[in-house]
Amino acid sequence: MLNSPQTASPLLAARQLGKTVKTGTEQLTILHDIEFSLPAGESLAIIGTSGSGKSTLLALLAGIDQPSHGDVQLDGQSLAALDEDGRARLRGQLAGFVFQSFQLLPDFTALENVLVPLELHGVADATARATHWLERVGLGARLDHTPRQLSGGEQQRVALARAFAGAPRIVFADEPTGSLDTATGAHIADLMFELNAAAGTTLVLVTHDPKLAARCSWQLQLQGGHQIALHPNTAPDGWPA
């Protein structure tokens, strides 16, 4: 068995997690028996080549897709025991999201986009909090701009503000720099790790960028849907572990 970040009470845990889909008449297994535990405050990079099952795993861990077998425990709650609405409620309470394609509402301003999860869950000082987080990501002057008026990097910063404004305990990020050029991607990565560290949030990051993966405390490597490695990061090239 591979090393695993075992703790007494992990925030996120996968148990025998697998996903099989039907393609025509055949069953295709795209994830096999993923098994790990991630303590709160840690960061986990899921790495692998295209088609290795990274995004599928992230979707299962966040409860936005359902496994064919196995289970995910999020903050001690079994996702398999919850229905779709139950999983949504749990996501609303615990999770923030950053996507490769930003997933901002195109007609909403930057401020309104950050307000969406806050107002959805009835947060009292939503506007003040959203403004604070947008200032924090350097967009204090762009509150009323819609995604169309923002660059890709700026849009991803809005997405970061949205992910962290709800004070989540865990952030799921799917290729957060995948749509950005190298320099902008690096800035976004810096910002994400900085916010993550400051908020003490647990981070699950899907990436194919080894450098980005190396900035996480743990790495889980997938190949053809199999978990081939799970190990803690050392601090290569001077990056903090």
Partner 1 sequence: MRRLALRFLRRDLAASDFRLLLIALVIAVAAMTAVGLLADRVKRGLTGQANWLLAADAALISDHPIPRAYLPGNGQAGLLVAETATFPSMVRSGEQMRLAAIKAASSDYPLRGKLETSLGVVHAPQAGQAYIDRRIAEQWQLKAGDALKVGSKTLTVAAIIVREPDAVIDFSSLQPRVIINAVDLPATGLIGPGSRVNYRLLVAGAEADVARWKDGIHSRLQRGERLEDAQESRPEVKKSLAKAEQFLQLAGLLAALLAGVAILLAARRFVQRHYDSVALLRTLGASRRQMQQLLLGELLALVLLASIAGGLLGWLGQEALAYSLRYWLESSGNERLPAGTPWPWLWASAYALLLLAGTAGPQLLALTRTPPLRVLRRELQPGLRLGAQWLLAAGATLLLLWLAVRDVKLALLTGGGLLLAMLASGAGGWLLIHLLLKLPFAHWRLALRPLARQPGLAMVQLGALTIGLTGLCLLTITRNDLLDGWQARVPANAPNHFAINIQPDQVATLTQLFRAQGASAPVFQPMIRGRWMAHNGQPVNPAAYPDDRAQRLAEREFNLSWGDALRADNRLIAGRMPAAGERGWTVEAGLAKTLNIRLGDTLVFDIAGSSVSAPVIALREVNWDSFRANFFVTGSQAMLADQPASMITSFYLPAEQRPLLREIANSMPNVTVLDVGQLLAEVRRILLIATQALQLVLGFCLAAGLTVLAAALELNASERSREAALLRALGATQGRLRRLWLTEQSLLGAASGLTAGLLASGTGWALGRYALELPVGFNLWLPGVTLLAGALLATGVSQWRLQRLARSSPGELLRN
Residues in contact with partner 1 by CB under 8 A are 55, 58-59, 62, 64-65, 84-85, 88-93, 95, 97, 99, 101, 103, 105, 107-108, 112, 115-117, 119-122, 126, 148, 174
Nearer to partner 1, 105 or 241 (CB): 105
Minimum CB–partner distance for residue 235 and partner 1 (Å): 31
Minimum CB–partner distance for residue 148 and partner 1 (Å): 7
Under 8 Å between Cβ of 199 and 164: yes
Task: Give the span between the Cα atoms of 236 and 152, in whole angstroms.
Answer: 29
What DSSP string describes 166-185?
T--SEEEEESTTTTS-HHHH
Nearer to partner 1, 84 or 190 (CB): 84
Nearer to partner 1, 45 or 126 (CB): 126
For 181, phi then psi, to 5°, come to -70, 170
Which tokens sit at 159? Answer: 């997405």
Minimum CB–partner distance for residue 227 and partner 1 (Å): 19
Minimum CB–partner distance for residue 17 and partner 1 (Å): 16
Exposed, middle or buried by CB within 10 Å (0-12, 13-18, 19+), for 23?
A: exposed
Nearer to partner 1, 68 or 103 (CB): 103
Which tokens sit at 241? Answer: 């572990």
Minimum CB–partner distance for residue 231 and partner 1 (Å): 26
Any idea which residue has 């039907």 for tokens?
22
- Name beta bridge partners: 12: 38, 74
Nearer to partner 1, 112 or 209 (CB): 112
